[in-house]
Structure 1
Amino acid sequence: MTVRRSFAAACLLSALLVPAGVQAWTGKDIDKWSTSCTSGLTCSLRYEDFYEQFGAFEFRRSGALSSDVTLWLPKPPGVSRNLDPGGIFHLAVDGKEVLRLTLQQLKFDVEWGKFVLTDRASVQILLEALKTGAALQLSYEGVTGKFSTDMNLAGFRGSLFFIDDVQGRRGRNDALLAVGQNVPEGPDSKDIESIDDIPASIRDDFIAPGGSCTESFMSDDLKRYNGFDISMSGIRLVLVPCSEGGAHNQGYALYRGYYNGTLSRISFPDIAEGKPSVSEVEYNVDFDPATRIMTAFLKDNGMGICGLWHKWELTLEGHLVLLEKRSWEECDGSRDGPESFPLEWPVGGQP
C-alpha cells in the first residue's frame, strides 16, 4: 500500500474524531507580545500573562484591503455588560491616560468572551501612543471592583512590523508601522469562517446534493479549518475544507480565478511512481502570499514527525508547480520537520 493510500485510510478510520484543522501558517513571539496570522492573512497581536487579572489583551486586523484594526479587551472577573453598565476601562501609556472607554462604547463578542473596540480613530490614538511608550497600564473599575495590569511594550513595535510584512503592507499608506506612500493594491484576503464566506459560484460543491465535497463537508465551524479567499496580482485562490478530517489531518479543495472571473477547481500537481500525476484533495494546506509558496503535510498517526509533504510555487500566471515531494514513514522521532524528510522528487536529493 502506498504512503498516500495508507494515510488516507487512517483519515477515514479517524473521521469520527474532532478534526484538528491546520494551524496559522505563521507567527512570531517577541518578548511578551505574540503574533499569529492565518492563511487568510487575519493577524492578531496579543499580550498574554495568565498570572495577571486580565488574561489576554489583543489587536486584530483582517487581510482585506479596507480593513481597520480592532482592539479586543479581556472581560474582567465577574463582569457582564448588562450587569455593569457603568463599567469603565482606562488605558494609560507611561502613566498618561490615552483612552477612557465605557462598556457602552464597546461591543461584546459572545464567542470570544471579550469586549471589542471598532472605532478607527480611538484605536489609532492608542496605537500611536503604544509605538513610542515603554509600558501600558490597563485598568477597569465597576460594580464588581477594580482591576489593573501593566504590560511591557518591549517587542510591540517589532510585532507591528512583522504583521505589516505578512499582510504585504510594508511601504503602503495603510501599514501599522512601516508606513510609506504606496497605495494598497493587494493581496486582498479573508478567512473562510462560514458557509456564507464560500463564494456563491462554488458553494453548491459543498452543500448541494451530489456536490463534490458535500458528503464530507464539515460545515459546523469553519473557523478552525483555516480556509481562505485571497486575490493577488489578478489571481484569486480559494481554499475550502473538503473530505473527512481526522485527529491529525484535514483535506482541502482549491479553486482559481482570474481578474474577478469564474472560479474553477484545480488539481495539485504530484509525482506518482516517477510519473506526473495530480491530486484533487491535499491535506493541511498552507499558503504564503509573500513567497507564493504552498505546502501540504499529510501526517501519520505516529508519535514522531512523519508523513507525506509537498511544496508548490504559484507562478505569476496562476499555475501550481511542484517543487518538492518528501516522505518519512518511520515515526521514530529522528526528523525535526517535514522539510528534513528524504526527497521523493526531484530524484537524487539527500536523505
Structure 2
Amino acid sequence: MPRPTRPSTFMILAALVGAMLATALPGPAEAREFKRIRDVNVSCTNTLRCDLYITNPRVTLYTVGFRRAAAFEAPVALYLTMREALAAGSEVRFVIDGTEQLTVPVGAFSYRAAIAEYSYDDQEAVRALFAAAKAGERLQVTYRTRNGQATAQFSLAGVVAGAIFMDEVQGRVGREDALQAIGTVADTPETPGAAVDETLADLGAVPAGLQRYYDGVGAPCADFDGAVPDPLGGFTAEITDEIRLVGLRCGSAGAYNAPFAFWKQIDGTYYRLALPVMTEDGPGAEMVAWNAVWDDETDELTAFFRGRGLGDCGVFNRWDIGMVGFNEGFVLREMRVKDECDGEFDETMQSWDRLWPPQPDKS
C-alpha cells in the first residue's frame, strides 16, 4: 500500500520519544503506560484501564480525574481523592472558567475509604463535564469537609492532548467511542465541510465501477486486515455538471491514520486521481491521502498524516481541483512537514516546514 513521503522517519521518532518518556517519567508500579502532558497526567495499567488526572498537592482535594476501562464504549468515571472525608449531606460543585458545569451531592458518589477516593459515573453528567474541560482553561472545585468549605483550583492545560494519548493507548483513535470525541450531542461539533455520504456503509455499497479496486487479492483497496469499517467512509462532490468527485476509504488504517483514494466520475466511468506532492527529490505523486477531509465550500481537499496520535508532527497537504494537462485533477496548493515529535502543538501548522509553495529565498 502506498505510504506518505516520510512515515518511516515519524515512526522511528515516535518510538524513540515513547521509549524516553517511558523510562524518564515515574508512574504507579502497575502502570504499563504513563505520560505527563503540561498539567495533566495519564496512567494506564497492564489491563489498559486508564486514568487522566490533575493534581494540586497544596489542597485537601489533591486529585481530580477521569477513569476508563479498555472495553468498547466503557463508561467514563469522574473521581476525586481527598486527604479528609467530604461532609455528609454536602455537595461538590465543578466550575470551569467561571461557569458552573456540575453539582454532585456527596451521597451520589461511591466512596472507597481505603484509598480516600470518591467516584461518580452518571454518563450524561460526566461526559458533559469532560467536554467542558477539553474546551476550558481552569477548573474550580468547591467542597466541604469537617473543617469547613474550601475551593481547589486546577489547570486544564493538556486535557485534549491527554485524551488523545489515552485513546491511543486504548486503541480508540478514530473510533466513535474515542475519549477525545466524548461529549453531549450539543458539545460535539460536526466536522465542517466533511460532506460524508452516509450511504457508503460497506463494501457492498461501493459503486459497481469501483468494485475492482476492492475485490480480490491484490486489489489496491482490498486490504482491510479482516475488519471493514462500518460505515466504510467517504464522500461525493459535484465538480462540474458533468464531473463528480468520489472519495473512499482504501485499505486498513493504522493506529491514527486512515487512507483514502479518489476518482472522478464522467458518464458512469471512474478515473482514479493521483495526488501531487513534493519530495526531497522533487515533484512526486501519491495514490492515497491520509485522514482526508473535503470542504464543500472551498472545494479543497486536506490531508494530515499524523506522525503520532498527539498530532504534533506529520505531513499536511492541501489540494484543489484544477486543470492538469488537458484534464481535471488535483493541484497541490500547500504542503508542510514536521519531523520532530516534540510535544509542541501548532494548530495552524504555520511554523511547520513548508515544502510547497517554495519558501522565498532570503539570501
Calculate the TM-score normalised by the size of structure 1. Answer: 0.46
Which structure has more relative contact order (CA 8 Å, sep 6+)? It is 1
Q: Which has the larger radius of gyration?
A: 2
Calculate the TM-score normalised by the size of structure 2. Answer: 0.45
